[in-house]
């Protein structure tokens, strides 16, 4: 008999509707898997079993009462998930990955957490993040590193590293993430998942904010494209007062689009050269990129090289200025800077040195670059790149020298393809289309590719992603920890 964790989120929702599974049974099963696997993976920073079981009992009552009118029930009623620890959760500890906030319990939910609850999902707790979500790996102070289930000596990425590890290990079928420079797509690539950085404005980042430029967005991490689409349907609910224009191309629900998986014949540009000169791309990342190109061609799309990306290497300096200032988005009491990790202190010191006029100039330069890049991308429907330039990094690799500047240089070499599209606000989807074994005695690792659409083209990316998943399925591949 199929174990509950082997079902996708959508399959779990259907089994709950028919009574094949009970919500309490499902939550208890997930909690047992967390108890067994999390000491190795360090995916969760806070667990809320009592709250989850209370919610499961309430869900069961609704499922029984609504069995003759299931259409009126929330679409994902009773399905377990988890919330990234950068998102506020009322009554549940939110640490932002920092020892400074180890005991902080907010009294308000982020809109993403609220909307997922409204859709019927049951959060089992908060997933691990690096301090303030700044680096693309998850090694918070005072906690073990979060590792990929495919090779527990390698990092799960960041900043949604805990979310990626939890989903890839089958603790939960899908999870909430945020992405300000690649933080959904990076864990998706190294954990063998689907990860969607949504279009700016599609999912509310309220009510607290903290990123007035809109670099960071909420989105799903899942094992299948349909599951990612199901979570996006729950999250993409208009919220009054959201400061960014919602650029949704319209059409069926995201789940319906993913199930249809018929995006039409598309013109797909591609590039695999990082904007910073001299950065190498691992052969396995290039092989996944080439394999994706072959699959797209086989599906009838036109794949073209040499398309102008509109990307200027000076873009890196602009992003760094903005990122340094945004390192101050989490308040730090006077005199407490010394309690932060060296990388966090380094970024915040750089941000403090940026004057108001310099920040304004960088923000304007970012807008100008976005116009140029989005205009250039109009020559194609979708752009294809590797998600990352390297395979998952060993635990401690980024921080081993003790120099934050060297740490950041290694981050740039690891993920040179993702942050561009946080600045432009375009949707970007990472898919696990590559697989490699670095050495005969080492486990197989997943390798992601990135598909980028025009602003508001999230639905198109999900349709295209679902068609690629049908052509080269990955959901039945499981890590050794499974």
In a domain, 479, yes or no: no
CA distance 388 to 371: 24
pLDDT band for position 71 (cuts 50, 70, 90): low
- Average pLDDT, stretch 453-460? 98
CATH number for the domain that contains residue 183: 3.90.1300.10
| Number of domains, the chain | 1
How many separate helices (H) and strands (E) can be counted in the chain?
15, 13
- Residues with Cβ within 8 Å of residue 108, at least 6 apart in sequence: 88, 90, 207, 208
pLDDT in tens, 158-208: 999 999 999 999 999 999 999 999 999 999 999 999 999 999 999 999 998
Asked if residue 471 lies in contact with residue 299, where contact means CB atoms within 8 angstroms, the answer is yes
Pairing state between β 428-436 and 382-386: unpaired
Mean pLDDT of all residues in 448-467: 98
User: Does residue 184 sit within a domain?
Assistant: yes
d(CA 375, CA 292): 24
b/e string for 464-474 if b means 16 or more Cβ within 10 A? bbbbbbeebeb
At residue 210 the predicted structure's pLDDT band, cuts being 50, 70 and 90, is confident
* pLDDT reported for residue 50: 98
The confidence band for 68, taking pLDDT boundaries of 50, 70 and 90, is low
Q: What is the DSSP string of 377-389?
A: HTTSSEEEEES-S
The pLDDT, as a whole number, for residue 249 is 73
Asked if the structure places residue 478 within a domain, the reply is no
Question: What pLDDT, on the 0 to 100 scale, is given for residue 284?
Answer: 98
The answer as to whether 92 is a domain residue is: yes
Report how far apart the first and last C-alpha atoms of the chain are (Å, whole number). Answer: 16
Run of H or E including 435: strand 428-436
Q: Please, which pLDDT band fits residue 250 given cuts at 50, 70 and 90?
A: confident
Return the pLDDT at 66: 78
- 167 sits in the region (left: phi over 0; alpha: psi -120 to 50; else beta) called alpha
Q: Is 303 helix (H, G, I), strand (E, B) or coil?
A: strand
In the numeric block, which tokens belong to residue 195? Answer: 């990860």
Question: Which two structure tokens, joined as six digits, stand for 221?
Answer: 């991490």
The whole-angstrom separation of Cα 178 and Cα 207 is 15
Query: What local confidence, expressed as pLDDT, does residue 67 receive?
Result: 55
Q: What is the pLDDT of residue 128?
A: 98
Three-state DSSP at 197 gives strand
76: closest CA among 143, 144, 11?
11
CA angle (399, 273, 410) in 5-degree steps: 5
Average pLDDT value for the chain: 96
The reported pLDDT for the residue numbered 166 is 99
Query: 102 lies in a domain?
Result: yes
If pLDDT is split at 50, 70 and 90, which confidence band does 429 have? Answer: very high
- Residue 65 within any structural domain of the chain: yes
Predicted pLDDT of residue 313: 87
Query: In sequence order, what are the residues at sequence separation of 6 or more whose Cβ sits closer than 8 angstroms to the Cβ of residue 28?
Result: 53, 56
In sequence order, the 6+-apart residues with CB closer than 8 A to the CB of 472 are: 291, 295, 433
The Cα–Cα gap between 456 and 247 comes to 4
A 10 A CB-CB count for 182 gives 32
The per-residue pLDDT for 475 is 96
Determine the pLDDT at residue 1. Answer: 56
Contacts (Cβ under 8 Å, ≥6 apart) of 440: none
Separation of alpha carbons 159 and 87, rounded Å: 12
Mean pLDDT to the nearest integer, 434-442: 95
Domain membership of residue 231 (yes or no) is yes
In terms of residue numbers, what domain contains 378?
4-471
Neighbours of 146 (CB within 10 A): 33
> Across residues 234-244, what is the average pLDDT?
94
CB-neighbour burial class of residue 204 (10 A; exposed 0-12, middle 13-18, buried 19+): buried
Four-residue CA torsion sign, 307, 311, 312, 313: negative
Q: How far apart are CA 436 and CA 443, in angstroms?
A: 9
* Listed residue (172, 181, 168) closest to 132, CA to CA: 181
What is the number of residues in the chain?
A: 482
Q: If we measure between CA atoms, which residue out of 126, 4, 170, 16 comes closest to residue 78?
A: 16
CB-based contacts of 57, cutoff 8 Å, min separation 6: 23, 24
Q: What is the DSSP letter of 249?
A: -
Q: Which phi and psi (to 5°) does residue 133 adopt?
A: 70, 20
> pLDDT per residue over 17-48, tens digit each?
999 999 999 999 999 999 999 999 999 999 99
Just list the catalytic residues: 84, 159, 183
Residue 185: inside a domain: yes
Query: Residue 51's pLDDT is what?
Result: 98
Burial zone of 107 (CB within 10 Å; 0-12 exposed, 13-18 middle, 19+ buried): exposed
Asked if pLDDT for residue 304 goes beyond 80, the answer is yes
CA distance 255 to 225: 9
Paired sense of beta strands 428-436 and 194-197, if any: antiparallel
Taking residue 357's Cβ as centre, other Cβ atoms within 10 Å add up to: 8
């Amino acid at each position: 008999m199929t174990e509950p964790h082997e079902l996708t989120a959508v399959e779990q929702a259907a089994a709950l509707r028919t009574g094949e599974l009970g919500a309490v049974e499902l939550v208890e099963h997930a909690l047992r898997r967390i108890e067994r696997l999390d000491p190795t993976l360090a995916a969760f920073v806070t667990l809320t079993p009592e709250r989850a079981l209370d919610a499961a009992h309430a869900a069961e009552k609704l499922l029984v009462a609504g069995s003759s009118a299931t259409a009126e029930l929330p679409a994902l009623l009773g399905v377990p998930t988890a919330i990234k620890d950068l998102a506020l959760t009322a009554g549940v500890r939110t640490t932002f990955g920092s020892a400074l906030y180890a005991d902080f319990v907010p009294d308000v939910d982020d809109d993403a957490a609220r909307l997922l609850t409204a859709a019927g999902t049951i959060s089992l707790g908060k997933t691990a993040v690096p301090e303030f979500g700044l680096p693309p790996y998850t090694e918070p102070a005072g906690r073990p590193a979060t590792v990929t289930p495919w090779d527990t000596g390698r990092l799960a990425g960041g900043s949604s590293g805990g979310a990626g590890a939890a989903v890839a290990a089958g603790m939960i079928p899908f999870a909430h993430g945020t992405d300000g420079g690649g933080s959904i797509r990076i864990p998706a690539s190294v954990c063998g998942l689907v990860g969607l950085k949504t279009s700016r404005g599609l999912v509310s980042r309220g009510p607290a904010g903290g990123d007035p430029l809109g670099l960071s967005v909420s989105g799903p991490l899942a094992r299948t494209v349909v599951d990612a689409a199901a979570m996006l349907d729950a999250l993409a609910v208009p919220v009054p007062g959201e400061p960014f224009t919602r650029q949704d191309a319209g059409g069926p629900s995201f789940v319906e689009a993913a199930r249809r998986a018929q995006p039409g014949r598309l013109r797909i540009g591609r590039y695999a050269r990082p904007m910073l000169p001299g950065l190498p791309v691992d052969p396995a990342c290039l092989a996944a990129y080439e394999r994706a190109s072959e699959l797209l061609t086989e599906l009838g799309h036109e794949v073209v090289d040499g398309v102008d990306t509109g990307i200027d290497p000076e873009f890196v300096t602009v992003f760094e200025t903005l990122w340094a200032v945004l390192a101050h988005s989490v308040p730090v009491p006077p005199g407490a800077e010394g309690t932060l990790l060296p990388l966090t202190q380094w970024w915040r010191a750089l941000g403090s040195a940026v004057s108001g006029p310099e920040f304004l100039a960088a923000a304007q330069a970012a807008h100008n670059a976005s116009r140029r890049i989005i205009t250039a991308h109009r020559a194609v429907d979708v752009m294809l790149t590797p998600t990352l330039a390297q395979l998952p990094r060993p635990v401690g690799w980024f921080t081993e020298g003790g120099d934050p500047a060297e740490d950041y240089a290694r981050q740039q070499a690891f993920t040179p393809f993702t942050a561009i599209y946080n600045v432009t606000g375009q949707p970007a989807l990472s898919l696990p289309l590559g697989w490699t074994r670095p050495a005969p005695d080492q486990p197989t690792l997943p390798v992601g590719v990135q598909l980028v659409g025009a602003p508001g083209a999230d639905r198109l990316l999900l349709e295209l992603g679902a068609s690629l998943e049908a052509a080269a399925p990955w959901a039945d591949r499981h890590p050794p920890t499974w």
